[in-house]
Structure 1
Amino acid sequence: MPSILNADLHCHSVVSDGTLTPEALAERAAANGVELWALTDHDEVGGQHRAMAAAKAHGMRYLTGCEISVTFAGETVHIVGLGFDPDDAGMRAGLRATRGGRGERAKEMSAGLARVGIDGAYEGALQFVGNPELISRTHFARFLVESGVCRDTSEVFRKYLTEGKPGYVPHRWATLKDAVHWITAGGGLAVVAHPGRYNFTANEEHALFIEFQAHGGRAIEVVTGSHSPAEYVEYAEKALEYGFAASRGSDFHSPDESHVDLGKLPWLPGTLTPVWELLEDRIQ
């Protein structure tokens, strides 16, 4: 496939913490000129067959996708898997175990918010959840905006849901080794999602990239809705430095919340190897 391609390989549906169905996302992506698409719900592959069928109906090529939460150096890091078998038993079992802790974490978050006078947050967040196994901070944020506590989800995170704030509860996710293994054992390719978003020192980021490579990781997101234009340049240089392929994805969640719409990102710099060139035989 050509290196200049409107590929959007990172977005979320109601199956995790997005607000649109896989079918509605496919329609929106196609309308915005996306040629190669992947739905990458958090820790869940339940929407993959729907997304694949919807992509085909709209004339788009499709790569299976998932965004897996891992813990590395005390931070939550996201690893996107692309091109794997969505019915792989090992991956499904691993993701099921990763999802298992979200419910208890959500109840602890609600208790923390109640201590500062915000009652009923768990029940309120559930109103915004498409899949109760995947209740997350995003669902709490939507409830707090809807109930008038904050103006927008950015304010919610800043005041209530980041480390040191009343509703923050850390969660122990999968290991980096586990996530990369699940993806590669299922025939896919692992990508570090939005590396510019993590609060790592230069040494910690280097350790992440080296360990990721050691486990079989092959790519990083360079052009993503979570990066600034300066970070596009920074992570293009780092992709070349470490020998990573480059991915491109909006990280779209909702028409009302996302910084960048599906298919509306700048192109990948031409000096990079696009991740889809390594996945040609996995594209549907």
Structure 2
Amino acid sequence: MKIDIHCHSTASDGCLSPEELVQRAHNLQVNVLALTDHDTLAGIVPAKQAAEGLQGGVPLSIVSGIELSCRWHSFEIHILGWHFDPEHPQLVNLVAQQTAARRERAAQILKRLDARGVKAEHLQGVWVQQQDPNKLVTRKHIADALLAGGYVKNLDEAFARYLGKGQSAYVQPAWCTIEQAVDAIQAAGGEAGIAHPLAYAMSSKWLKRLVTDFQLAGGHAIEVSSGQQAPQQRAQLAQLANDFELMASAGSDFHSPGRWRELGHNLKLPPQARPVWQHWSEVNGQSI
């Protein structure tokens, strides 16, 4: 089976709508898909409705998902949640808090850019999106505006000059803790996993400390397989999961069509890994 439980739509910082994302996954013969937008549940219902209308090809099951931004020491850690009740009050309340924090952070970043001389008309589109209750503004959206306005030559420069940690327009986020994220996902009946564990620019000692704290918080899995990683990294993460008696997940972290992060591509788990979806009805042929 092709299983991809980490991807993004226009509900956060992806370029395809939930409906377009589902159609692309179907075209690529993905069997199980979790839409894990950043700090929002808004895309889940449209994705499930789109999947119900698919015709022909392999069946596609949509699993509820989210990627919650968390603060942990000096790091921003992303916790994935899957297979939960998206209407559970504790999770809904936490997402509302995250949404408010994200909107406040975006507003402060935009004001700092204005003070840096970025013209208002170049940020107008982001301000408009900021007012839409169904959309969230991320630093990626602001970086896109800087690129379109000619302030930077590429997105990496936008973060290096303006938006990255320590730069003049950077604003420290007020995210939830890992414990709060895992607790809310569990309360809603789901499983929680650490997203892209090797992407946090930390030493192996700090990574093991992170996984230890995550396990103590009641976490379930770490993301072992992604589309763009060396084989030794996949094996390393599978061993890390086993060392801490955690399950494994796989996801493309898809944001837009491209060569490196395609839906369902190259996501097979190593044989020693225990998949987080091993008891999901969608995977066992009893789609709910």
Residue 12 of structure 1 is matched in structure 2 by 8
5 Å-filtered alignment, 1:26-41, equals: 26-41=22-37
**Are 1:148 and 2:144 an aligned pair?**
no
CA distance in 1, matches of 2:217, 2:232: 29
Residue 66 of structure 1 is matched in structure 2 by 66
**Are 1:251 and 2:253 an aligned pair?**
yes
CA distance in 1, matches of 2:102, 2:124: 14
CA distance in 2, matches of 1:110, 1:259: 31
Residue 277 of structure 2 is matched in structure 1 by 276
Equivalences, count: 279
Residue 206 of structure 1 is matched in structure 2 by 208
**Matching residue's letter, 2:45:** H
Runs of 4+ aligned structure 1 residues displaced above 6 Å come to: none
Q: Residues 83 and 191 of structure 2 are in contact (CA less than 8 Å); yes or no, is this contact kept in structure 1? A: yes
CA RMSD of aligned residues (A): 2.2
CA distance in 1, matches of 2:216, 2:235: 25
**Are 1:80 and 2:80 an aligned pair?**
yes
CA distance in 1, matches of 2:137, 2:116: 21
CA distance in 2, matches of 1:35, 1:262: 11
Q: Percent identity?
A: 34
Instruction: State the 1:219 CA deviation.
Output: 0.3
Residue 104 of structure 1 is matched in structure 2 by 104
> Secondary structure in 2 aligned to 1:90?
helix
**Matching residue's letter, 2:175:** W
Deviations 1:173-195 (A, max 9, x none): 01111100110110000010001
CA distance in 2, matches of 1:96, 1:224: 29
CA distance in 2, matches of 1:226, 1:109: 31
5 Å-filtered alignment, 1:129-148, equals: 131=133, 134-148=136-150
Residue 46 of structure 2 is matched in structure 1 by 50
124-133 or 113-122: bigger deviation: 124-133
Residue 166 of structure 1 is matched in structure 2 by 168
Instruction: State the 1:281 CA deviation.
Output: 7.0
Q: Residues 82 and 190 of structure 1 are in contact (CA less than 8 Å); yes or no, is this contact kept in structure 2? A: yes
Distance 1:208 1:222, change over 3 A: same
Q: Residues 103 and 133 of structure 1 are in contact (CA less than 8 Å); yes or no, is this contact kept in structure 2? A: no
Q: Residues 37 and 55 of structure 1 are in contact (CA less than 8 Å); yes or no, is this contact kept in structure 2? A: no
Is there any run of 5+ residues in structure 2 with no aligned partner, and where?
A: none
Instruction: State the 1:172 CA deviation.
Output: 1.6
**If the length of structure 2 is used for normalisation, what is the TM-score?**
0.88
Deviations 1:245-271 (A, max 9, x none): 111111111236x84111122411122
**Matching residue's letter, 2:15:** T
126-135 or 95-104: bigger deviation: 126-135
Deviations 1:149-194 (A, max 9, x none): 2333233223322112222111020111110011011000001000
